[in-house]
Structure formats: structure tokens, C-alpha cells
Structure 1
């Protein structure tokens, strides 16, 4: 089942990276969840999952996507203009939400959000809600990209820095060029070397830290291994831990 969505705004961050705001009658969702976008292509339905970037309660949904040259859907999405329509799943899904993070004594004081590329989307949604700021003393967003032009939503991130100057820490990571204020290595290496923790003057340990990781499978696997070497464990409902992950493909 699908509902009809209308493109009401778009932003092109670079020649491949873009955001779409879509007016669609979907059910209420939780920050961090995803919806599916779909089109009929030669009588065959093509559908792909995209995380919702905006906070729950808005009268639209926003997605961040990158056009892949041989992709089955993303080039068509990139060609959409205001007023065009796209099929949308009527209900969001996914467990990459703050609801899945242990509460009380098991929660810890610091929330680390580790992302690469378009996987920053669900974290932006979370950061636009009151929950992380009410639950954690420090909230850290680590955002890894290849090139500086791949950094999206910097305007929102800067607004959050102004709104929560003592609570919010932002670390951009740009791996293929030098960029002012950014680390120049992969996220797992930044943790393993201690460079990330040193820059923030924050330790990552099982007592204080909850770490959510969203991005490409290689980054997730390496970051999880590095965190496990620091004593953190994967967060499961039957066995609460400190690491929550979602692969982006």
C-alpha cells in the first residue's frame, strides 16, 4: 500500500547530494525511523528506504539522498521538482531510535552519534527533538564524509551549537581533503587513536557512553570492533549495552 506524496521543496547540496521535502499523509513516526519511496518503472515497482530527517510533528517529511549513477530510484528522485509526486509508504519503520537506548543507571551521561554520508539524516531528526538534550549531559555528533561539499545540514548543526553551547559537540570528519576544523581520518581510526576523545576531552567507556552508529557497513563494523575493545557491548533488548547500529545498505 502506498500514499501519494507531493514535493514541496528541494535543496541541492552538491551535484549528487540533495534533500526533498514531501507532503504526504503518513502515520506519526519516531525520530530515527525511515520511510520508503517508490515509483513504477516499466510496470515494475521500485522502492527504497530513506530516513526521515525532520522532527516528528511537522506536516511534511524530509529525506536526504545521493544520486547513484546506476541506481534504480535515486536518479529519478533527483529529477523531481516542486509539484511532482512520489509514492510513499504510509507508515515509518525502524529501530534506530532513542527509545531503544537503555534508561536509568544503564543509560550513561554521554550520547555519541557516529554517522557517514546520508546516514546523518536520522541523527538530525533526533537532535531536533527535546529527548537527547533532556536525557544526556553531552551529545556528540560525528559526521564523516569524503569531501567538504558532502556535508549537509550544517546550518541546522550550527543552530544547535548556538542553542546548546555547553551540551552539544560537533566533529566533522573529511577523509579526502583538508578542511578547517575537521579531522582527516576515518571514524574508527579517530576513536582507536584517541584523537576524537582528545579533541573533545571526553572519554568513551561503558559507564558514561551510549554510542549510536549509522552509515556504511565497513565503518560500522570497524567502529563497533574498536568500541568493543574499549569495553562497550552491543545494545540488545534482552541484554542492554552501549552500542546501537543501523547499516545504511
Structure 2
């Protein structure tokens, strides 16, 4: 049974009518970068509804940050969008999830693929830095529909500086051209090797592990491409492979 704690809203930053982030202070138990928390609010019938959101912040940061997409007619996201500093909501005391670096085997290249707000867990992992010494190169592909939705691009570029040349960022916009970004969808850009050609590294089952986080269609289609064209396999504790997944809704 979930144990709940009160979380105080410190900030609610709205990038636009769709994307926003909230920063909370709450007496949660320690979490591992890549994990998620559970939120609880009451609907119009005074019944509790629940949703899960991944941390963007590193575990040592007491500012608990969550990046959220506002869903039209969505009860949870619209209530969260309207929160003001000082408001109180309930979140789970204990975090959960296995989309963490300690679940990933050592390899030469760690490939991270995220769509939209699903870049959050990778921001947490990269800001934390623990366990990343077991990879020689980290390549983060960050995909959105439009360039103004690349809301964590500046943060990632800042993080790059502490990793020197170890961390590569490749952005993608699917609905418009953006200088420095590829255009299209992740599965197609992997199939035609555009991502590999652009970053200058080749994905191979003997040197790579892939972490996929985003909308279920991206995760499903990308996994199919990786299995068919790269001969990679899904990763499980009982059966190690090359692909770790997290659907982001």
C-alpha cells in the first residue's frame, strides 16, 4: 500500500499551454536516478486518482522536479498545471522503477533515446553521474515535434561540460527543420543510419546498450528496428540483452 506525504509546490514553470514543470519539497525517502514517484489528487467525485511521474532532478537535489505534458481534458495534468507556489499535493514517500543505471550492464557505448518529457529520467541520471564510469561514451538522442519543445536542451548542454567529450547530444524534430537537429522519427532515422552517421558512432551488439524512454509507439517501433536491423535483444535480469525500455504514459 502506498505511503503518502505532503509535497509543497515551490515553483510551477509553464513553457506554454502544453508543457510545464513543477518543483516540490517533500520528505520522501531516497530514490535512485531514473525512478519515478506517484502523485495523488481528488477528482470531481472526490475520489483519488493516481499518476506516475519521473524525477528530473538528481537524487541529492532537494528540489524535486517533474516535467509534465498537459493533456486536454486530463483531470490530473490540468490540476497540476493550475498549482501555485505554496499549494500542497500528495506524492508517494517511496519511489519505484528499474530504469536505472545499476540495471544496465557495462559496455562501450550507452545509447539513450527519449521523446518529449521522457527526457526527464535521463536528465536525472546524467546530473547524478553515479555508475556512468562503466561506459566510454554516452549518446543521448532527444526528440520532439517542434524545436521549442526541446525544453531541456540547455540543461543537457550544461551537463555536457562536466563530461567533456564523453556525452554527445543529438536532437531531433519531427515536424519542422531545426539547425543542428535531424528531422524525422527515431525508428526511421535508426533504420537509415542517419543518427549513427551524424554522431559518428556505430551501434553494435558487442559494444552497445540502448535505453528507450518515451511514448509507447516510439518504444515499440524502435525496439523492432533494433532487433531486425541491429540484431539486439531486449534486456531482462534473467536474460541479459541490449535494450532497456520504459513507456512514458
Note the C-alpha offset of 1:13.
2.2
Note the C-alpha offset of 1:163.
2.2
Match of 1:67 in 2: 70
Note the C-alpha offset of 1:132.
5.1
1:44-193 matches, within 5 Å, as 44-102=47-105, 107-131=106-130, 133-193=132-192
Match of 1:38 in 2: 40
Work out the CA distance in 1 between the residues paired with 2:157 and 2:19. Answer: 20
Contact 1:14 1:150 in 2 (8 A): no
Gaps of 5+ in 2: none
Note the C-alpha offset of 1:234.
0.6
Match of 2:28 in 1: 26
Which range is displaced more, 36-45 or 116-125? 36-45
1:205-216 matches, within 5 Å, as 205-216=204-215
Residue 231 (structure 1) aligned with residue 234 (structure 2): no
SS of aligned partner of 1:70:
coil
Work out the CA distance in 1 between the residues paired with 2:240 and 2:91. Answer: 33
Match of 1:245 in 2: 245
SS of aligned partner of 1:92:
coil
Number of aligned positions between the proteins: 245
Name the TM-score, length of structure 1 as normaliser.
0.95
Work out the CA distance in 1 between the residues paired with 2:52 and 2:103. Answer: 20
Q: Which of residues 4, 15, 31 is equivalent to 1:2?
A: 4
Note the C-alpha offset of 1:59.
1.7
- CA, structure 1 residues 36+86, in 2 after alignment: closer, same or farther (shift >3 Å)? same
Name the TM-score, length of structure 2 as normaliser.
0.95
